[in-house]
Structure 1
Amino acid sequence: MTPSPATPLPPPKARRRLRESAALTQTQLATRVGVARQTVRAWESGRTTPRGRKREVYARLLKTLAEEDAARRAGRTPEREREREREKKRGLQRTPVPVAVTATAAATATDSPAPDARTKPDRTEETGPQREPESQPDPEPATKSPPEPAPAPVSTPTPTPVPAPVALTPAQAFDALYEFSAPALVRQTFLLTGRREQARESVERAFQTAWERWPEVARDRDPVGWVRATAYEYALSPWQRFRPRHRNQEPPPADPGDRTLLNTLLRLPPRHRRTLVLYDGVGLDLPETAAETEASTPTTANRLLRARETVAGRLPALADPQVLHRRLAELASNERLRAARPPTVRRAGERRTRFWTRAAIAFTAALIGTTALTVRTAPTHYEPPVSRGEAVRGVPPRVAPGALSDEELELRQKLRDQLQDGPERLSPKLE
């Protein structure tokens, strides 16, 4: 039996936008779907995906919110729609002009030549045939003027054919995305970390992850945002502090103002720093910043205000958001940050993927071999354990060897004197 396909859902950012456009909180939406608020937050951030009946209910609710949002944008509310339906039933609404007729009339009016102002309209067409007068004097022949030369025909320019868009291969599309956004992403990541090599490596790792999941990234509505979020997560990972490269200090910016601003940014908490860079540096609005940082809009606004207060307390000249945006752009542009070529990034990602794939295959083979060896050498039947020994009482202790008595010496001599072989040894006789 073939399982039914899962109900399609909009991207995580679109889910959050639809909820906020309907003025619903995560708690209210969770109550409608029948889940916890943390579950809705995970769905909107993309960490998890709903399944089963919850997915069906969530998809229907999002579809309803999308229809309400589209009607709200077009100025058509449900009440207005019901009023229009009532007017249609009463016959009070005007019959709209068909689009085809309107287009035909417009084309006819455009194609018909405009009448010359010097040419008088034919009165015969307006009032019908006129009666000629009974007698009119013949006009005198006038001097014939030379005929005017006919105007040269105006040549219509031939429209230049527009070439059809050429479909790009996945590698070409990836290279175009990398060349377009990689330099800016490296500068933005430098503002988060203050380290040039770490910023470059974070962006390259983000693009390598995007190449591994290229079908998903290519269909995303904002592929640059997808790569930016991945690069920021890698750059701000707490595991970076354990790397040997992190222990080596890089030279600070040459300009004292840039050095002070960078030190101020690095003193901010990572979440506040990321919010400030996204809002005042990249230029995202508040809902987009909240969605990318996986936080609510009020929390994001609070982080932004605290980050601005900290920067303004250290640098009062940057209290204006416009001045802060300009200074962040100057700080990122003054540094010489390089980015590798797209083919190099793709090949490095493919090599890393091949390495981990082979490592997984080798580990799986070793696990299978160990399991087979265990099955081969393991006992096939039950063997009862050997019981513990018990002490036996009443046995005389073992005597240590000592000097022989006279009787023992006589018996030993007698045994030595007798024959060592022969029938007498086999059947001894009694004395």
Structure 2
Amino acid sequence: MTRGPATPLPSPKARRRLREAASLTQTQLAERVGVAPGTVRAWESGRTTPRGRKREAYAKLLKALAEEEESAARQAARTPQPAPPPKTEPTGDRASAPEACPGAEAEPEPEPEPEPEPVAMPMREPAPESQPRSTREPVPEPRPAPDPLTPAQAFDALYEFSAPALVRQTFLLTGRREQARESVERAFQTAWERWPEVARDRDPVGWVRATAYEYALSPWQRFRPRHRHPEPPPADPGDRTLLNTLLRLPPRHRRTLVLYDGVGLDLPETAAETEASTPAAAHRLLRAREAVAGRLPALADPQVLHRRLAELASNERLGAARPPTVRRGGERRARFRTRAAIAFTVALIGTTALTVRTAPTHYEPPVSPGQAVRGVPPRVAPGSLSDEELELRQKLRDQLQDGPERLSPQLE
């Protein structure tokens, strides 16, 4: 699964060059884009890539800086340069004779002989049509253009070319074979997910290398159960001592040393990939070399250190998976993440709908707890009836409950 192409951006090296050509610091550029300075360092190192509105603003700013640089170059080209004074080149003893003997007269120079006029060569007449075809020169047929590579083929070619070297370099950072292999595979899977962006990058190997180094040196690696069980060290005592010396260095110094003395990058490229300024990268490199030379004096020479790092990485048997396996693993992880996100969204929607359906539609105040009331006389049951009360009750029950008799008129 691949993502759609986004707004094109220059390579990380070109971003850093444009910023430095405009005499802008990372803090000033971050204020223009509206991000933190650490984010700009990550963009210039290639570790992360801007997205959304930040990507549009960053691309627009870089385009403006590039136009300013081009206009300054055109203006400098149009400015007339003062012509240098003519120089007379002396030829042999004749040119130096007047200076050595100013009083001597110069011999007259012989006049140059006129050059012969060029003789016109007769044009070759074309062969007549009646000439047999066997004596004619063969006309080369145009070769068909090679078919462009598919994204999968380009990814496989990049993986087969750079994966073995990246695994060996990552082993120098971590000292663990399985972790180095897994870091490189994770980096290539991330590159496959963002393949339109990585394919247009000027240095796709550097993009993958920065991602692999970040994953390998992540502080979360120490919490994995695999990290608790150490791997067997190298068999050679010299390699074992050098690897232990590298692992004792701070992660930033170790990464700078591996990039400069191991991979062979120059100082600005090392500074950009480690998200540091050039003086800071130089200071880290010097400190790392001093630490290695203090433990192994024979490696004080940078050339010897470079050769020993290459030998240490080459002596280990570090294998890498096949490109189709890495691609399928990345696609499976992307599908799993997509399905997990969909399931979480559906569960959230269902929970919200159930809450809305079962929630009360009006406010019901809570019933306050009861309190004891003092000073009220106890309830008394009625006692037995007297004889008069019994007689009255019986009389009321026996008599009819009718109204008064009807009055009829009578004559008097």
TM over 0.5: yes
The TM-score range, normalised by the shorter chain, is: 0.7 to 0.9
Q: Are 1:342 and 2:323 an aligned pair?
A: yes
Structure-1 residue corresponding to 2:65: 61
Task: Report the Cα offset of residue 216 of structure 1.
Answer: 1.1
Q: Are 1:208 and 2:179 an aligned pair?
A: no
**CA distance, structure 1, for counterparts of residue 297 and residue 398 of structure 2:** 125
Structure-2 residue corresponding to 1:192: 173
Structure-2 residue corresponding to 1:134: none
Task: Kindly provide the amino acid, as one letter, of the partner of residue 351 in structure 1.
Answer: R
After superposition, residues 365-384 of structure 1 pair within 5 angstroms as 365-384=346-365
Bigger relative contact order (CA 8 A; separation at least 6): 2
Q: Are 1:235 and 2:216 an aligned pair?
A: yes
**CA distance, structure 2, for counterparts of residue 35 and residue 351 of structure 1:** 33
- Whether the aligned pair in 2 keeps the contact of 1:182 and 1:339 (CA below 8 Å) is yes
Structure-1 residue corresponding to 2:374: 393
Structure-2 residue corresponding to 1:288: 269
Task: Report the Cα offset of residue 20 of structure 1.
Answer: 3.4
Deviation digits for residues 56-84 of structure 1, max 9, x if unmatched?
A: 4553123323565xx4xxxxx74442227
**CA distance, structure 2, for counterparts of residue 32 and residue 369 of structure 1:** 43
| 1:82 counterpart (79, 82, 85) | 79
**CA distance, structure 1, for counterparts of residue 232 and residue 374 of structure 2:** 86
Structure-2 residue corresponding to 1:15: 15
After superposition, residues 1-400 of structure 1 pair within 5 angstroms as 9-21=9-21, 25-26=25-26, 40-41=40-41, 43-45=43-45, 46=48, 48=50, 50=54, 56-65=60-69, 68=72, 71=73, 78-83=75-80, 156=137, 159=140, 161-396=142-377
Task: Kindly provide the amino acid, as one letter, of the partner of residue 341 in structure 1.
Answer: R
Deviation digits for residues 190-209 of structure 1, max 9, x if unmatched?
A: 00000000000001111111
What SS class does the counterpart of residue 319 from structure 2 fall into?
A: coil
- Whether the aligned pair in 2 keeps the contact of 1:312 and 1:319 (CA below 8 Å) is yes
Deviation digits for residues 6-31 of structure 1, max 9, x if unmatched?
A: 98642333110233356654356668
**CA distance, structure 2, for counterparts of residue 256 and residue 194 of structure 1:** 15
Deviation digits for residues 84-126 of structure 1, max 9, x if unmatched?
A: 7x99xxxxxxxxxxxxxxxxxxxxx9xx7799xxxxxxxxxxx
Structure 1 residues 223 and 52: CA distance shift in structure 2, 3 A? closer
Structure 1 residues 53 and 369: CA distance shift in structure 2, 3 A? closer
Listed as ranges, the gaps of 5+ residues in structure 2 are 1-5, 84-117, 125-133, 400-412
Structure 1 residues 23 and 309: CA distance shift in structure 2, 3 A? farther
Task: Report the Cα offset of residue 218 of structure 1.
Answer: 1.0
What SS class does the counterpart of residue 333 from structure 1 fall into?
A: helix
**CA distance, structure 2, for counterparts of residue 294 and residue 113 of structure 1:** 69
**CA distance, structure 2, for counterparts of residue 360 and residue 66 of structure 1:** 46
**CA distance, structure 2, for counterparts of residue 270 and residue 244 of structure 1:** 21
Task: Report the Cα offset of residue 157 of structure 1.
Answer: 6.0
**CA distance, structure 1, for counterparts of residue 370 and residue 32 of structure 2:** 71
- Whether the aligned pair in 2 keeps the contact of 1:280 and 1:325 (CA below 8 Å) is yes
Structure-2 residue corresponding to 1:141: none
Task: Kindly provide the amino acid, as one letter, of the partner of residue 309 in structure 1.
Answer: E
Structure 1 residues 357 and 427: CA distance shift in structure 2, 3 A? farther
- Whether the aligned pair in 2 keeps the contact of 1:179 and 1:342 (CA below 8 Å) is yes
Task: Report the Cα offset of residue 388 of structure 1.
Answer: 4.2
| TM-score (structure 2 length as normaliser) | 0.72
- Whether the aligned pair in 2 keeps the contact of 1:18 and 1:66 (CA below 8 Å) is no
Cα RMSD of the aligned pairs, angstroms, is: 3.7
Task: Report the Cα offset of residue 354 of structure 1.
Answer: 1.2
Structure 1 residues 365 and 26: CA distance shift in structure 2, 3 A? closer
Task: Kindly provide the amino acid, as one letter, of the partner of residue 333 in structure 1.
Answer: S
Q: Which moved more, 1:46-55 or 1:268-277?
A: 46-55
- Whether the aligned pair in 2 keeps the contact of 1:33 and 1:58 (CA below 8 Å) is no
- Whether the aligned pair in 1 keeps the contact of 2:180 and 2:216 (CA below 8 Å) is yes
What SS class does the counterpart of residue 83 from structure 1 fall into?
A: coil
- Whether the aligned pair in 2 keeps the contact of 1:183 and 1:338 (CA below 8 Å) is yes
What SS class does the counterpart of residue 364 from structure 2 fall into?
A: coil
Structure 1 residues 382 and 253: CA distance shift in structure 2, 3 A? same
Structure-2 residue corresponding to 1:130: none
**CA distance, structure 2, for counterparts of residue 373 and residue 29 of structure 1:** 48
Structure 1 residues 174 and 56: CA distance shift in structure 2, 3 A? closer
